[in-house]
């Protein structure tokens, strides 16, 4: 992993505070804290994927194998992953656009990981007869066993030479040469390139054949990582896709990281059928843990849902302390692990009941909110903060936001400051419900440690209280594996916005601004030019977060602080892709503990700094409330 250069950096002054949090109140002493940016002009950057040369505009992108085609809604076989997807099943595609520079051809150069069997390149989507039909269909020329090429000059749709502005959708089929373990014959991503314009564009299908057209940029939630519109009816797969602009060098790290993400660190089993045991990882789980794999908590890479009353909270982070400041608990450590591979688990926690709170909108329409009551068994900590697993798309883009832009954004709130676990420097916190982690790799390392009992060079010691029996050593995850996990999570593509042309959505969007939701849920930001990963640099993103902490009032407060974040302070949750929650997670549960059963309830819990916005929502007409919710459903 590339670290930012120490030496030529500039400190950033942000308004931070020293919080003496007690229960729901906090005393703040405003002070200027020096924050070390994560990335700057000295950071080593991976190569650009777009190159502008005198004779051609060159775009490089990674692709993976697919079972079937993008528009085949009846098969549900496009977005899911095939068995052994990490073996030989990615390719690099280089698009050499000479038309952009006055030439007459566009060449596709493909680099494979294993020899291919007459790989097929289909170009110019036509959709006649079948939704998988292209006007140009040719076998690419083999340059050597790992390199293939195909050149296009003719636009068969217009019956003329290719010219600037032509939309060329391709699908490349990296058929493997037999004998092959697993599937040999398959297809690729429907990739849209517009001649003369650098980069791959997220597309939507228009007309009865769903011909691909670039999505308007306001739908590009994750900049150029944004996925194309989905037509294969696989709602559970939406948060598991490679970024549309995935760099060729990150194709294999993504797949290897994905394998780890889906591996049960006890048995080594993969969560999807047809994949072998990952023998290297067998037996790493524990001794204390909550869940057996990353996807075990982050359901389909989305959020988890609260379990039934009385069932253990295993898809949560249960932070515990011996005081309101969050000093680790002598018998439990900093977090409770509800399971163990030996002996009895240290403690357990369940939702014992839900307290319901009745309220009414300004027009008299009643609503009911619910709040969890927890019951601990074994050790009962007096101070705790309980949070559910959040969704994982767009994380790399959030890591790529520049500290100065976050500090300078309008609105209230403050940036979280955290000590970097690797360097000890003061940095801006970004990840987790209270922005307690600096880097994505730190967040992942902390999940390995707190949730699965696996150590890393970042967090070498398992979570354990000072008075707790030692259950023996924890296994370690190798730095290369952690890096693959990092690259995987960092380059997951963000789904595009939906229904953006609806009148109600436009109305909801203006309400979102007029009642100042947008002061915290910032509609648009640009990532810095300094991030190591090319995919994440200079991206205009619509994450709907300011990445800052806000006092959200007593209703949402825990009785324990986390570092300098008080019990009532939470990071503005990104709202991108929130509308896909039911499809991805199989239900709805919003806010840090999953208490809100729908988007309206999530808003109605807002208090503190968001009290005025909440009240504005509560007192709106039913039509305006519906429009605001419809807008959220377009994200």
Instruction: Report in angstroms how near the CB of residue 598 gets to ligand HEC at its nearest.
Output: 9
**Which tokens hold the place of 42?**
């000295």
Separation CA 531–CA 524 (nearest Å): 18
Q: Which is nearer to ligand HEC, 61 or 635 (CB)?
A: 635
Residue 166 or 403: which CB sits closer to ligand HEC?
A: 403
By C-beta, is 136 or 579 nearer to ligand HEC? 579
Q: Cα–Cα distances in Å, from 25 out to 386, 417, 429, 447, 566? A: 18, 19, 22, 29, 8
The CA distance from 255 to 282, in Å, is: 19
Tell me the C-alpha to C-alpha distance, in Å, between residue 393 and each of 84, 87, 400, 487, 557: 23, 24, 14, 12, 26
- Angle CA 612–617–619, to nearest 5: 95
Specify the residue, 184 or 377, whose C-beta has the smaller distance to ligand HEC: 377
Q: In which region does residue 435 sit, left (phi positive, over 0), alpha (psi from -120 to 50) or beta (all else)?
A: left
Cβ proximity to ligand HEC, 228 vs 315, nearer residue: 315
Minimum separation from the CB atom of position 441 to ligand HEC (A): 9
Whole-angstrom Cα distance, residue 138 to residue 135?
A: 10
* Dihedral sign from CA coordinates of 585, 589, 591, 597: positive
Phi-psi region of 516 (alpha: psi -120 to 50; beta: other; left: phi over 0): left
CA-based angle 449:270:318, to the nearest 5?
30
Whether omega for the bond prior to residue 179 falls within 30 degrees of 0, making it cis, is yes
We find the least distance from the C-beta atom of residue 398 to ligand HEC, in angstroms, to be 7
Least separation in angstroms between CB 69 and ligand HEC: 30
**Measured CA distances, 388 to 6, 199, 313, 320, 436 (Å):** 36, 37, 9, 14, 15
Q: Which two tokens stand for residue 562?
A: 């986390």
> 279 near 259, Cβ under 8 Å?
no
Q: How far is CA 466 from the centre of its chain?
A: 35
Residue 43: CB minimum distance to ligand HEC, A: 20
Task: Name which of 43 and 573 has its Cβ closer to ligand HEC.
Answer: 573
Pick the closer one to ligand HEC by CB: 123 or 324: 324
Nearest approach, Cβ of residue 339 and ligand HEC (Å): 10
Q: Closer to ligand HEC at the Cβ: 110 or 552? A: 552
Smallest distance, Å, CB 131 to ligand HEC?
34
Tally of CB atoms within 10 A around 80: 16
Q: In Å, how far from its chain's centre is CA 538?
A: 18
Could you tell me if 316 and 384 are in contact, meaning their C-beta atoms sit under 8 angstroms apart?
Answer: no
- Minimum CB separation of residue 260 from ligand HEC in Å reads 7
Residue 200's closest CA among 484, 493, 400? 493
What are the residues binding ligand HEC (CB under 6 A)? 261, 290-291, 294, 296-298, 315-317, 387-390, 392, 395, 412, 431-434, 436, 440, 443-444, 447-448, 451-452, 485, 489, 515-517, 519-521, 550, 552, 556, 570, 572-573, 575, 578, 590-592, 599, 602-603, 606, 609-610, 613, 617, 628, 632
Distance CA 304, CA 355 (A): 21
205 or 429: whose CB is closer to ligand HEC? 429
Nearest approach in angstroms of CB 2 to ligand HEC is 18
Closer to ligand HEC by CB, 6 or 612: give it: 612
Q: d(Cα 388, Cα 370) in Å, to the nearest integer? A: 16
Q: Which is nearer to ligand HEC, 24 or 140 (CB)?
A: 24
Q: Which is nearer to ligand HEC, 112 or 395 (CB)?
A: 395
Q: What count of Cα atoms within 13 Å lies in the side-chain half-sphere of residue 47?
A: 11
In whole angstroms, the minimum distance from the beta carbon of 409 to ligand HEC comes to: 12
CB atoms within 10 A of CB 573: 18
Question: Which of 476, 516 has the CB closer to ligand HEC?
Answer: 516
Write down the least CB distance from residue 244 to ligand HEC, Å.
20
By C-beta, is 319 or 331 nearer to ligand HEC? 319
Q: Is the CB of residue 155 less than 8 Å from the CB of residue 162?
A: yes
Q: What minimum distance in Å lies between the beta carbon of 360 and ligand HEC? A: 17
Tokens representing 192? 């849209």
Least distance to ligand HEC, CB of residue 290, Å:
4
CA-based diameter of the chain, in Å?
A: 78
Radius of gyration of the chain (CA): 25
Find the shortest distance in angstroms from Cβ 401 to ligand HEC: 12
**CA-to-CA distance for 495 and 226, rounded, in angstroms?**
6
Nearest to 431 by CA among 451, 410, 447, 414: 447
Judge contact between 15 and 382, C-beta under 8 A: no
Question: CA-CA distance, 372 to 290, in Å (whole number)?
Answer: 20
The minimum distance between CB 520 and ligand HEC, in angstroms, equals 3
Q: How far is CA 499 from CA 57, 173, 391, 504, 579, in A?
A: 33, 32, 22, 10, 11
Give 183 or 371: the residue with its C-beta nearer to ligand HEC. Answer: 371
Output the smallest distance, CB 380 to ligand HEC, in A: 20
- Which CB sits closer to ligand HEC, 92 or 635? 635
């Amino acid at each position: 992993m590339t670290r930012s250069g120490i030496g030529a950096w500039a400190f950033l002054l942000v308004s931070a505070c020293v919080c003496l949090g007690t229960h729901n109140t906090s005393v703040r002493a405003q002070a200027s804290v020096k924050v070390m940016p994560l990335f700057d002009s000295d950071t080593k950057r991976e190569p650009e994927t777009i190159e502008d040369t005198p004779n051609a505009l060159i775009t490089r992108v990674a692709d993976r194998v697919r079972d079937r085609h993008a528009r085949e809604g009846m098969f549900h076989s496009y977005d899911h992953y095939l068995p052994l997807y990490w073996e030989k099943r990615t390719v690099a595609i280089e698009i050499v656009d000479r038309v952009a520079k006055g030439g007459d051809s566009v060449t596709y150069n493909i680099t494979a990981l294993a020899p291919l069997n007459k790989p097929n390149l289909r170009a110019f989507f036509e959709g006649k007869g079948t939704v998988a039909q292209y006007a140009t269909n040719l076998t690419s020329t083999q340059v050597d066993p790992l390199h293939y090429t195909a050149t296009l000059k003719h636009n068969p749709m217009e019956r003329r030479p290719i010219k600037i502005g032509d939309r060329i959708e391709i699908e490349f089929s990296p058929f493997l040469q037999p004998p092959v373990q697993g599937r040999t014959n398959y297809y690729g991503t429907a990739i849209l390139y517009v001649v003369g314009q650098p980069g791959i564009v997220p597309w939507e299908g228009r007309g009865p054949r769903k011909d691909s057209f670039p999505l308007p940029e306001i739908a590009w939630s994750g900049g150029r990582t944004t996925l194309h519109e989905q037509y294969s009816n696989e709602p559970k797969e939406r948060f598991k896709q490679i970024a549309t602009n995935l760099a060729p060098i990150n194709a294999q790290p993504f797949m290897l990281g994905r394998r780890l993400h889906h591996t049960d660190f006890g048995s080594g089993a993969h969560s999807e059928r047809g994949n072998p045991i990952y023998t290297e990882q067998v037996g790493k789980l524990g001794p204390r843990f909550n869940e057996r794999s990353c996807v075990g908590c982050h359901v389909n890479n989305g959020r988890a849902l609260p379990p039934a009353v009385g069932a253990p909270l295993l898809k949560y982070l249960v932070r515990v302390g011996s005081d309101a400041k969050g000093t680790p608990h002598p018998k439990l450590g900093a977090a409770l692990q509800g399971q163990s591979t030996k002996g009895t688990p240290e403690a357990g926690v369940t939702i014992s009941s839900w307290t319901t709170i009745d309220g009414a909108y300004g027009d008299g329409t009643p609503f009911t909110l619910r709040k969890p009551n927890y019951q601990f068994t074994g050790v009962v900590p007096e101070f705790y903060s309980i949070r559910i697993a959040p969704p994982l798309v767009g994380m790399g883009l959030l890591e790529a936001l520049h500290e100065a832009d976050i500090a300078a954004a309008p609105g209230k709130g403050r940036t979280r400051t955290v000590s970097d676990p690797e360097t000890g420097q003061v940095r801006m916190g970004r990840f987790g419900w209270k922005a307690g982690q600096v880097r994505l790799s730190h967040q992942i390392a902390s999940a390995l440690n707190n949730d699965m009992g696996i150590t890393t060079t970042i967090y070498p010691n398992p979570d354990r209280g000072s008075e707790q029996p030692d259950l023996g050593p924890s296994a370690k995850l190798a730095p290369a594996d952690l890096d693959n996990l990092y690259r995987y999570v960092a380059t997951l593509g963000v789904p595009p916005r939906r229904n953006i042309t609806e009148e109600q959505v436009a109305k909801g969007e203006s309400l979102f601004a007029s009642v100042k939701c947008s002061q915290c849920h910032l509609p648009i930001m640009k990532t810095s030019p300094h991030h190591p990963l090319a995919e994440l640099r200079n991206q205009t993103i619509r994450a709907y977060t300011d990445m800052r902490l806000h006092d959200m009032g007593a209703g949402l407060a825990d009785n324990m602080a986390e570092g300098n974040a008080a019990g009532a302070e939470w990071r503005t949750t990104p709202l991108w892709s929130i509308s896909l929650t039911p499809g991805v997670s199989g239900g709805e549960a919003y806010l840090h503990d999953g208490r809100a059963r729908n988007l309206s309830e999530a808003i109605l819990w807002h208090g503190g700094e968001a009290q005025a916005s909440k009240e504005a929502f509560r007192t709106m007409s039913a039509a305006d409330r519906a429009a605001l919710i419809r807008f959220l459903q377009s994200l």
